[in-house]
């Protein structure tokens, strides 16, 4: 796993595809949404089918404030991933971890649009690994300053690429959420996983960001028309972000106009062909195409 410091010099692009509603929340809150790991649709998140899991090794003299703020273990050990205790440990980490998922690529992806921003008013935000790591470092420093007197580390971030090969050896329990089944390899995913012990029982966590410097650009949906583009611009007004058309329709001045023009041409062609019945061959009895 990479450390946050390793990521501070990585200028690779990160994409996050989302609905217009989620984008509006990001702009309004000036923060990036992180759902708790147990809220994901994939029931296998954080569980390993074939590996050993190393427990975190909580010292015997650790002072537990009585709120379940330490892992339910008293010493470091290895567990088979199918053991009840390992399954309990995996669920424990899911309940304490907040995750944001990013597509690492230099160009936008048609597949990601279709999966995560299905409506034509969806957007993709673009940042870099170093910018995301920098915002995490700022928040971490603030948490350290505000909670200096706590007897435990309340905030632990990790930023790394997802591993799509099923592990066979030993996996640290806090890294469980960085493993996914190989069927998801196409996502080219990088994750920020945050363990935030001061947000017990909360379903979400938001990472504050400086929008103008954090967002390299905002890309509107490839099939967005004028109305959708205006909505995105209205939401972005005053946030200091750059809104761009999708590269997938680069060179097309107005998608709505193109589609309307194509419909007009089809109608003209149909009217011409109606004058020449000979152009329409006879169909056999019972043919499903016969009107």
Q: Is residue 156 part of a domain?
A: yes
pLDDT of the residue at 283: 66
pLDDT of the residue at 253: 60
Query: What residue numbers bound the domain in which 183 lies?
Result: 4-251
Q: Is residue 262 part of a domain?
A: no
Give CB contacts under 8 A, 24+ apart, made by 238-244: 239/27, 239/30, 239/211, 239/212, 240/211, 240/212, 241/27, 241/211, 241/212, 241/215, 241/217, 242/215, 242/216, 242/217, 242/218, 243/217, 243/218, 243/219, 244/217, 244/218, 244/219, 244/220
pLDDT of the residue at 61: 40
Give per-residue pLDDT as tens, 21-40: 999 999 999 999 999 998 88
Q: Is residue 90 part of a domain?
A: yes
pLDDT of the residue at 277: 64
On whether the pTM is more than 0.85, the answer is no
Q: Is residue 267 part of a domain?
A: no
Q: Structural domain tally of the chain?
A: 1
What average pLDDT values come out for the chain (291 residues) when binned by 10 residues?
85 96 96 92 69 53 41 45 67 86 95 91 96 95 81 82 73 80 89 83 91 96 91 94 88 71 86 69 69 60
pLDDT of the residue at 127: 98
Q: Is residue 67 part of a domain?
A: yes
Give per-residue pLDDT as tens, 131-173: 999 999 999 998 888 877 776 677 889 999 998 876 556 677 7
**How many Å apart are CA 207 and CA 75, to the nearest integer?**
32
Mean pLDDT for the chain?
81
Q: Is residue 83 part of a domain?
A: yes
pLDDT of the residue at 221: 94
Q: What is the DSSP string of the chain?
A: ---HHHHTT---EEEEEE-HHHHHHHHHHTEEEEEBGGGSS-TTTT--SS-EEE-----TT----SSS-S-S-SS--EEETTSHHHHHHHHHHHHHEEEEEEEE-SS--HHHHHHH--STT-EEEEEEHHHHHHHHHHHHHHHHHHTTT-SS--EEEEEEEPB-SPP-SEEEGGGGGGB--GGGGGG-EEEEEEEETTSTT-SEEEEE--HHHH-SEEEE-TT--HHHHHHHHHHHTTTT--EE--GGGTT-S-HHHHHHHHHHHHHHHHHHHTT-GGGS----TT-TT--
Give per-residue pLDDT as tens, 233-249: 999 999 999 999 998 87
Q: Is residue 158 part of a domain?
A: yes
Q: Is residue 227 part of a domain?
A: yes
pLDDT of the residue at 73: 41
């Amino acid at each position: 796993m990479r450390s946050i410091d390793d990521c501070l010099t990585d200028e690779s692009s990160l994409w996050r595809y989302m609905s217009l509603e989620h984008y509006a929340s990001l702009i309004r809150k000036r923060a990036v949404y992180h759902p708790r790991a147990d809220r994901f649709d994939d029931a296998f998140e954080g569980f390993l089918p074939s590996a050993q899991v190393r427990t975190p090794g909580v010292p015997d003299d650790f002072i537990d404030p009585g709120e379940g703020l330490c892992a339910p273990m008293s010493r470091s050990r290895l567990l088979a991933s199918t053991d009840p205790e390992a399954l309990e440990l995996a669920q424990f980490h899911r309940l304490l971890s907040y995750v944001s998922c990013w597509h690492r690529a230099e160009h936008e992806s048609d597949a990601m649009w279709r999966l995560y921003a299905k409506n034509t008013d969806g957007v993709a935000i673009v940042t870099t690994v170093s910018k995301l790591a920098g915002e995490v470092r700022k928040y971490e420093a603030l948490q350290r300053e505000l909670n200096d007197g706590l007897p435990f580390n309340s905030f632990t971030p990790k930023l790394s690429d997802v591993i799509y090969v099923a592990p066979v050896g030993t996996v640290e329990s806090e890294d469980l959420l960085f493993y996914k089944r190989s069927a998801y390899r196409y996502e080219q995913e990088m994750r920020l996983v945050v363990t935030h012990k001061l947000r017990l029982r909360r379903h979400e966590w938001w990472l504050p960001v400086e929008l103008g410097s954090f967002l390299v650009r905002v890309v509107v949906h490839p099939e967005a028309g004028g109305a959708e583009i205006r909505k995105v611009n209205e939401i972005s007004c005053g946030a200091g972000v750059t809104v761009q058309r999708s590269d997938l329709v680069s060179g097309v001045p107005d998608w709505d106009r193109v589609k309307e023009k194509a419909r007009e041409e089809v109608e003209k062609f149909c009217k011409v062909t109606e004058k020449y019945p000979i152009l329409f061959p006879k169909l056999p009895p019972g043919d499903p195409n016969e009107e």
